[in-house]
Amino acid sequence: MTETTPTILWLRRDLRLSDHPALHDACASGQPVIPVFIHDDEVATLGAAPKWRLRLGLAHMAKALGETGSKLVLRRGSALDVLRALVAETGARRVVWTRGYAPGQISRDTDVKSALKADGLEVQSHPGLLLFEPWDVATKDGGFYKVYTPMWRSVRDRDVASPLPAPTRIPAPKVWPDSDDLDDWQMGRAMNRGAAVVSGHIHVGEDAARGRLGAFLAHRVARYKSERDRLDIDACSGLSENLAYGEISPRTIWHSGWRALHEGHAQAEDFLKELVWREFAYHLIYHTPRLESQNWRPEWDGFPWQGEGDAVQAWRQGRTGIEVVDAAMRELYVTGRMHNRARMLVASFLTKHLLVDWRLGRDWFAECLVDWDPASNAMGWQWVAGSGPDAAPYFRIFNPDTQAQKFDPKAAYRKMWLAEASRTPPETALAFYDACPRSWNLSPKDTRPSPIIDLKDGRERALAAYKDHRENQ
C-alpha cells in the first residue's frame, strides 16, 4: 500500500464523527478515507418515515464530513457491486464499517466480507452500534440471556471504554469518485404531506443529539424513574431517534448516565437500565433472528390472530374510540414518535383486545417511526403480544382507560392529540389532519367514534382465545 492508497469507510446507521471506531480506524494510517453510503435493498425497503429521516441524517453527515475536508460519496445498487466498483475506481485496498446485528444486515455483511476478502482486500468490521457485543455477554452456562434482569446485572458494572474523539481532519483522496445526488434518491417521496408536519418534531445530527442528552441530564434525569411513564410529562431523553441513525454513540450516553449517577442522581440508574433494554433487543435478535418475524415462542404458532380489516385501519387512524389509544396513534403520525408507555398500550390493544397479529402493528410502526429500530421494535411488539422472550404474560391485558387515568391523570395527553369533541383543539391535534393521507377523509369536525370494542368484552374474548389455543395445542 502506498501513502495514497485509500480506505473505504462504508457508512450505514453510524452517521457521526465522534466515538466512531470504524472512522477512527480508517483515519489511523493517515491514508485517504473515502466515506460512502450505499442505497441498497436495505434502504429501499425502509418504511416512509425512517427513510425520509435517514435522508436528513445523510445530508447532515455530508455537511459534517465537509467540515473535516472530506465528503460523503453516495451510490446506489447492491452493496458488493458498489464497493467493488469503488475499489476498481480508487485503488482502495481496505474496506471498514460498523457492524449491524439484524438478520438481513448480518447475511449481507457476511457475503460482502467474504467476497471482498476473496478479491484480496483487507476488510474490517467494528463495534459502535452497541455497548456490548452480543457474543460478549453470556449466562453462567455460556448461553445467551432470554430474560432482561440477569443480563442487566451481568453488564451493569462492566468497564465500557471511553468514547473516541472526532477527527478534526479526515485525509481526502486527490480525486473523489463520482457521487449520486441525494435529492435524486427521493427518499421522502412516501411521506407525502407528513414531512412538513413531522419536521417540527425531529432533531437531526450529532450536535442535536448531544443537545438532547445535555438537556435531559440537566433537567429530567433526576426525576426519570418517577416520571418516565407519565404520558403528559416530557420526562424522557428522546435519544432513540438519534440512536437509530447512529448520530450519538451508546457509549457517550452510557458514560454521561454514569456521571449523573455519581453526581447523586440516583434515577440515572433507571436511564442506564433502559439503554440496556436496547442492548437486550440486539442480544436477542443476534442469538435468535426469528425475533424479527416469527413468534419467538413457537407455542404461539397457530394462534388465530386476526389480519387486515376495518379494526386495524381504525387503529392506524386513531379512530378506535378508545381515547388514549387514539391519542397515541395520532402522536405517532404527527411526531414520528410515541411515548414508550403509549407504545405498550396501543400494542396491547391491537394484539389483545383486537386479537390482531403483532406483525401488522410492527409494520405500521416501521412505516411511521422516525426512531424505527429493527431489534427494539420487534422485541417491543413480541413482548407486549406475549409471544416474545421475557414477555408480559398472556393474561396481562392493559386496560387503556385505567392506564390513562394513572399515567395521564388530567387527560392533558389525550387533549393534546384529539381534536374531535373539542371546541378549541390545540395545534398538535389539528396537525394530524395536515399530515394524514387525504384518502382517509378525516376532519377535526368529525364526531368522536364510539369504541370499536367494549373493553371488558375484548379482554374476555382474548383470554378465551388464549385458553382455547393452549388447550388445543
Distance from C-alpha of 308 to C-alpha of 293, rounded to nearest angstrom: 17
**Applying CB under 6 A, does 274 fall inside the site for ligand FAD?**
yes
Q: Which of 278, 352, 353, 415 binds ligand FAD (CB under 6 A)?
A: 278
Chain residues 351-370 in contact with ligand FAD, contact rule CB under 6 A: 365, 369
Distance from C-alpha of 253 to C-alpha of 247, rounded to nearest angstrom: 11
Q: Which of 19, 326, 371, 390 binds ligand FAD (CB under 6 A)?
A: 371
Of the pair 167, 326, the CB lying nearest ligand FAD is at 326
Which residues sit opposite 35 in a β-bridge? 9
**Applying CB under 6 A, does 236 fall inside the site for ligand FAD?**
yes
* Identity at 166, one-letter amino acid code: A
Could you tell me how many residues make up the chain? 473
Shortest Cβ distance from residue 24 to ligand FAD (Å)? 23
From 123-131, 380-388, 417-425, 440-448, give the range in contact with ligand FAD by CB under 6 A: 380-388
At a CB cut-off of 8 Å and minimum separation 6, what does 187 contact? 43, 51, 52, 54, 55
Per DSSP, helices labelled H in 103-223 are 103-118, 148-155, 194-198, 206-219
Distance from C-alpha of 343 to C-alpha of 291, rounded to nearest angstrom: 18
C-alpha cell at 294: 416469527
C-alpha cell at 201: 418534531
Shortest Cβ distance from residue 349 to ligand FAD (Å)? 11
Judge whether 378 and 362 are in contact, CB under 8 Å.
yes
Place of cell 445467551: 144
Shortest Cβ distance from residue 383 to ligand FAD (Å)? 6
Q: Which of 12, 71, 228, 353 binds ligand FAD (CB under 6 A)?
A: 228
From 173-181, 270-278, 424-432, 457-465, give the range in contact with ligand FAD by CB under 6 A: 270-278
C-alpha cell at 220: 429530567
The burial class, CB within 10 Å (0-12 / 13-18 / 19+), for 306 is: middle
**Applying CB under 6 A, does 347 fall inside the site for ligand FAD?**
yes
Task: Determine which helix (DSSP H) or strand (DSSP E) holds 358, and give its type and residue range.
Answer: helix 358-368
**Applying CB under 6 A, does 130 fall inside the site for ligand FAD?**
no
Chain residues 316-345 in contact with ligand FAD, contact rule CB under 6 A: 340, 343-344
Distance from C-alpha of 405 to C-alpha of 411, rounded to nearest angstrom: 8
* Number of residues located near ligand FAD, criterion CB under 6 A: 28
Distance from C-alpha of 337 to C-alpha of 343, rounded to nearest angstrom: 9
Q: Which of 14, 373, 390, 408 binds ligand FAD (CB under 6 A)?
A: 373
Chain residues 101-120 in contact with ligand FAD, contact rule CB under 6 A: none
Give the helix, strand, coil percentages of the chain, each rounded to 5: 55, 5, 40
Shortest Cβ distance from residue 135 to ligand FAD (Å)? 20
Going by the DSSP 8-state scheme, the letter that residue 63 receives in this structure is H
**Applying CB under 6 A, does 248 fall inside the site for ligand FAD?**
no
From 166-174, 273-281, 402-410, 464-472, give the range in contact with ligand FAD by CB under 6 A: 273-281
The phi-psi region of residue 336 (left if phi > 0; otherwise alpha if psi is between -120 and 50; otherwise beta) is left
Distance from C-alpha of 177 to C-alpha of 179, rounded to nearest angstrom: 6
Q: Which residue is nearest to ligand FAD (CB)?
A: 380
Distance from C-alpha of 11 to C-alpha of 13, rounded to nearest angstrom: 7
Q: Which of 381, 394, 417, 432 binds ligand FAD (CB under 6 A)?
A: 381
Shortest Cβ distance from residue 321 to ligand FAD (Å)? 21
Shortest Cβ distance from residue 120 to ligand FAD (Å)? 39
Of the pair 70, 240, the CB lying nearest ligand FAD is at 240
Q: How many CB atoms lie within 10 A of CB 4?
A: 12
Judge whether 248 and 210 are in contact, CB under 8 Å.
yes
Nearest Cα residue to 92 out of 177, 189, 218, 193: 177
Of the pair 256, 428, the CB lying nearest ligand FAD is at 256
Shortest Cβ distance from residue 450 to ligand FAD (Å)? 26
C-alpha cell at 459: 379482554
* Identity at 128, one-letter amino acid code: G
Shortest Cβ distance from residue 326 to ligand FAD (Å)? 17
Of the pair 93, 273, the CB lying nearest ligand FAD is at 273
**Applying CB under 6 A, does 260 fall inside the site for ligand FAD?**
no
**Applying CB under 6 A, does 237 fall inside the site for ligand FAD?**
yes
**Applying CB under 6 A, does 217 fall inside the site for ligand FAD?**
no
Of the pair 179, 306, the CB lying nearest ligand FAD is at 306
**Applying CB under 6 A, does 80 fall inside the site for ligand FAD?**
no
Residues of this chain that interact with ligand FAD (CB under 6 A) are 228, 236-240, 243-244, 271, 274-275, 277-278, 281, 340, 343-344, 347, 365, 369, 371-373, 376-377, 380-381, 384
